[in-house]
Amino acid sequence: MAKDIFYTALDIGTSKVATVVAQVGPDGELKIVGTGLVPSQGVVKGQIVNVAEAQEAVQASLNEAQRYMGYRIPWTYVSIAGASTACFNTTGVIHADTNGDPITGENVEQLVQSSYPQIPEDKQILHVMPVNYVVDGYRGVRSPLGLHAGRVEVESHVVMADRDAIRQTLHAVEDCNVPVRDVVLSSLASAEATLFQDEKEMGVVLADIGAGTTDLAIFKDGSLWFDTSIPVGGNQLTRDLSVALGMPYYFAEDLKDKWGHASPDIEQAGEEVLLPSFQGQSRRLIRRSTLCKPLIDRLQETLGLIMLRAQQAGLRRLPPGGVVLTGGTSRIPGFQQMATETLACPVRVAAPVGIRGFSPEHNQNAFSTVIGLLLWGIKHQNRSGVFNKSRDQYGPSRGSNAFFQRIKKAVKVK
C-alpha cells in the first residue's frame, strides 16, 4: 500500500461531530494523524434538522482535523443514524453455467445484484449484504465461490434510508468541499470497532447508546441480521435528572457525569451530593440514591426497549453472545452490572483500544462509530458501486479482506 494514503471518517452525532484521519502502517497498525471534535448543532436524535447549522459544525470539525495534517482532507466516509433507516431480507437466484465450470466472482456479483429489491421513491439503498447461500438446495453455504452448481440462491440483508436524510447529510459535508466516498449505517460501523468475530458467529446484540438514540445491530451466524434505532439516549437521562432536581440542563449534565451510577451499593447510595444554587435558591444536600433514581429508571426502560426490539426482530431469547454496550452513555458506572442482572445474559461494555495517535480522552466508547467508520472504509476500499449523487443505490460490499485482517490484528477491542 502506498505510504501516503489516508482514510477519513466523519460521524455527525446528536451531541458531537467527530472527524478522524488515519494512516495504515506496513504491519496493519492504524495511526491517527488528525482529529476534530466539536459540539454538534442542527441535529436532533441523530437526524439533521438544520443543514446550515450542521454544516457549520462539520466545517469546524474538518478544520480542526486538517490543522494537524497540514493539507485539505480529500474525501471522507460518513455515518448515518438508524432513525431514518429500515432493514429487511431479500433473496436472489442465478443458474450457473452448465458446462461444468466452477462459480466465479462474477457469478457471485450477479447473484447479489439479483437480490437488490425494488424500493419506494423516497428511499435509497445503503447496503445489500449477503447473509447465506443455497447451492443446489444445500443450505448454510457461506460462500459459493469455486463450487460447481446449477442453481445458486442468496439471502441478503438490505438496509435502506430516507432519501432526504441522505441528501441532507451529503449537503452538510460536501458543501464544505469534502467529497463523500460512502455513507455507512452507524451501528454497522460501531460493530466493526467493538465486536469480535466469534461474537458475531454465536449471535450478539450491539447497542450503541448515544446522546439522542440507541442504535441496535443484531448479528447471527457471522452476519448482520437486523438493525433498528430507539429514540432514547443520554440526553433523556439528563432531562429526567433536570426535571427531578428542578435545575437547568447543563447543571444536570455535570451532576450526571460526576455522581451518576446505575447500581450504587449501600455506601454509595448514602453519600450526600451538594447541589449548586440556581435563581437565588440556596445550595442543598441530597442523597446520591435520590440523584441516581431518575437515571436508573431511564436506563432500565432503555434495556427493556432493547429486549422488546430484539423480540420484534424474531428472537425468542437473547443470543449466546449476549449484549455488547457501547456509546457514551454505556460508560455510566454500574451500567454493566445493571444490564447483566436485567437482561440475564452476558453483557460487555466495549470501546476501541490499541489505536496509535488517539489521545486517552478520545479513546472512549463514544468514538466507536467514527473508529468503526475508518475500519469499514479500509475493509471496503475496493468495493464496487461506491456512492455517487447521480445513482439511486449502492453496490454490494466488496473489500480487500486480507489487508483488513492485518488491521484487525493490530487494532484490538475490549
Q: For residues 71 and 168, state if they share a domain.
A: yes
Q: For residues 61 and 118, state if they share a domain.
A: no
Which of 300, 332, 349 terminates a domain? The answer is 349
Q: For residues 35 and 174, state if they share a domain.
A: yes
Residue for cell digits 458467529?
A: 201
Q: For residues 297 and 224, state if they share a domain.
A: yes
Q: For residues 130 and 80, state if they share a domain.
A: no
Q: For residues 361 and 239, state if they share a domain.
A: no
Q: For residues 127 and 245, state if they share a domain.
A: no
Q: Give the pLDDT confidence of 245-271 residue by residue, as tens digits.
A: 999 999 999 999 999 999 999 888 899
- Among residues 272, 249, 295, 210, the alpha carbon closest in space to that of 16 is found at 210
| pLDDT value at residue 243 | 96
- Count of residues in the chain: 414
378/24 Cα distance (integer angstroms): 9
Split at pLDDT 50, 70, 90, the class of 399 is very low
Query: Domain count of the chain?
Result: 3
Q: What is the mean pLDDT of residues 72-98?
A: 87
CATH of the domain at 230: 3.30.420.40
Helix (H) or strand (E) segment spanning residue 152: strand 151-162
- Among residues 248, 249, 210, 200, the alpha carbon closest in space to that of 230 is found at 210
Which of 134, 160, 186 terminates a domain? The answer is 160
368-390 burial code (b ≥16 CB/10 A, e <16):
bbbbbbbbbbbbbbebebebeee
Q: Give the pLDDT confidence of 334-354 residue by residue, as tens digits.
A: 999 999 999 999 999 998 866
Which of 334, 349, 364 terminates a domain? The answer is 349
Q: Give the pLDDT confidence of 143-156 residue by residue, as tens digits.
A: 899 998 889 999 99
Q: What is the DSSP pairing of strand 76-80 with strand 180-185?
A: parallel
Residue for cell digits 447549522?
A: 53
Residue 26 pLDDT > 90, yes or no?
A: no
Q: For residues 20 and 99, state if they share a domain.
A: no
Q: For residues 343 and 377, state if they share a domain.
A: no
Cell numbers linked to 15 = 451531541
Alpha-carbon distance values, 376 to 192, 325, 340, 381 (Å): 7, 19, 29, 8
Q: What is the mean pLDDT of residues 374-394?
A: 59
Which domain does 390 fall in, by range? 1-85+161-194+352-414
* pLDDT-wise least confident of 201-210, 214-223, 402-411: 402-411
Q: What is the mean pLDDT of residues 285-304?
A: 96
Hey, what amino acid is at 369? T
Q: For residues 278 and 363, state if they share a domain.
A: no
Q: Which residues contact 52 (CB under 8 A, 6 or more apart)?
A: 42
pTM for the structure as a whole? 0.88
CATH of the domain at 129: 3.30.1490.110
DSSP characters over 167-221: HHHHHHHHTTT--EEEEEEHHHHHHHHH--HHHHHH-EEEEEE-SS-EEEEEEET
Q: For residues 178 and 226, state if they share a domain.
A: no
Q: Which residues contact 258 (CB under 8 A, 6 or more apart)?
A: none
395/290 Cα distance (integer angstroms): 52
Residue 301 pLDDT > 80, yes or no?
A: yes
Q: For residues 128 and 237, state if they share a domain.
A: no
Residue 385 pLDDT > 80, yes or no?
A: no
User: Considering the chain, what is the average pLDDT of its residues?
Assistant: 87
- Among residues 154, 163, 184, 185, the alpha carbon closest in space to that of 90 is found at 154
226/200 Cα distance (integer angstroms): 12
